[in-house]
């Protein structure tokens, strides 16, 4: 079995036959490695990419777990890592409880108190009173999530769901990129 450092080298480049030689961290050459000592799954990595559009109608959370899981099922990758990335600066992503809607309401209420919509507090007001607070709320949460995939299933906890967190008033169409790599 190869060490983690050796596997990193393996993923950077290969030579024909059974030997692998590549450049590792900081440009230093990696040792030659017989591929028979590397886990078989390393050579069979697949990846897939798509973009989903999410309609929002007001500030708050919109669950997208089922859409992500459905896409993953179509891709047929068993074990790997899923990246979810929102391509906006006034909306974000969170993994949050999906059993009790009061959790979502409390989270939204807390962020409204933490980052009020008061145009006297901000310079950037050209796009409306809710825009700069939305940017701050997005900065306090996340624009990218990484979720392990095992046996074709997202490794979320029992009550966890993936959400787009809209921080602005009004209707928006949010683009969310999905990427999976695994075998």
User: pLDDT of 15-56, one tens digit each?
Assistant: 444 444 444 455 555 555 454 554 555 568 999 999 999 999
The CATH number given to whatever domain includes residue 104 is 2.60.120.460
Task: Name the one residue in this structure whose structure tokens are 């949460």.
Answer: 141
β-bridge pairing 80-86 and 153-154: unpaired
Terminal-residue alpha carbon distance, the chain: 18
Spatial contact of 129 and 119, defined as CB atoms under 8 Å apart: yes
The pTM of the full predicted model, rounded to 2 decimals, is 0.77
Average pLDDT over residues 107-135: 95
Determine the structural domain holding residue 21 and report its residue range. 4-43
Average pLDDT, the chain: 85
Average pLDDT over residues 63-90: 97
In a shared domain, residues 94 and 162: yes
Residue 118 predicted with pLDDT over 70? yes
Structure-model confidence comparison of residues 27 and 145, the more confident one:
145
When divided into structural domains, the chain yields a total of 2
In a shared domain, residues 116 and 138: yes
Give the burial class of 174: count Cβ atoms within 10 A of its Cβ; 0-12 exposed, 13-18 middle, 19 or more buried: buried
In a shared domain, residues 30 and 50: no
**Degrees to nearest 5, angle at CA 5 with 46 and 152:** 30
Average pLDDT over residues 135-163: 97
Determine the Cα–Cα distance for residues 116 and 132; give it in Å rounded to an integer.
10
Spatial contact of 166 and 62, defined as CB atoms under 8 Å apart: yes
At residue 20, the pLDDT reads 42
* Helix, strand counts (H, E) of the chain: 4, 10
In a shared domain, residues 25 and 11: yes
pLDDT one-digit tens code per residue, 78-101: 999 999 999 999 999 999 999 999
Of 74, 91, 66, the closest CA to residue 144 belongs to 91
Considering the chain, what percentage of its residues have pLDDT values greater than 90? 74
Average pLDDT over residues 111-136: 95
At residue 44, the pLDDT reads 82
In a shared domain, residues 25 and 53: no
Residue 3 predicted with pLDDT over 80? no
Determine the Cα–Cα distance for residues 28 and 12; give it in Å rounded to an integer.
12
């Amino acid at each position: 079995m190869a060490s983690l450092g050796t596997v990193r080298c393996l993923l950077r480049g290969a030579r024909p036959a059974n030997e692998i030689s590549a450049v590792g961290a900081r440009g230093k050459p990696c040792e030659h490695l017989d591929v028979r000592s590397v886990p078989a799954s390393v050579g069979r990595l697949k990846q897939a990419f798509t973009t989903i559009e999410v309609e929002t109608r007001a500030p708050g959370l919109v669950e997208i777990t089922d859409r992500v899981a459905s896409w993953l099922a179509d891709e047929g990758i068993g074990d790997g890592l899923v990246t979810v990335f929102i391509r906006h600066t006034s909306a974000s992503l969170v993994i949050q409880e999906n059993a009790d809607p009061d959790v979502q309401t409390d989270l939204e209420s807390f962020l409204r108190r933490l980052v009020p919509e008061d145009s006297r507090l901000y310079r950037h007001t050209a796009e409306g009173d809710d825009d700069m607070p939305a940017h701050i709320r997005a900065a306090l949460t996340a624009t990218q999530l990484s979720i392990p995939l095992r046996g074709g299933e997202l490794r979320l906890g029992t009550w966890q769901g993936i959400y787009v967190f809209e921080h602005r008033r009004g209707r928006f169409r949010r683009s969310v990129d999905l990427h999976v790599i695994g075998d």
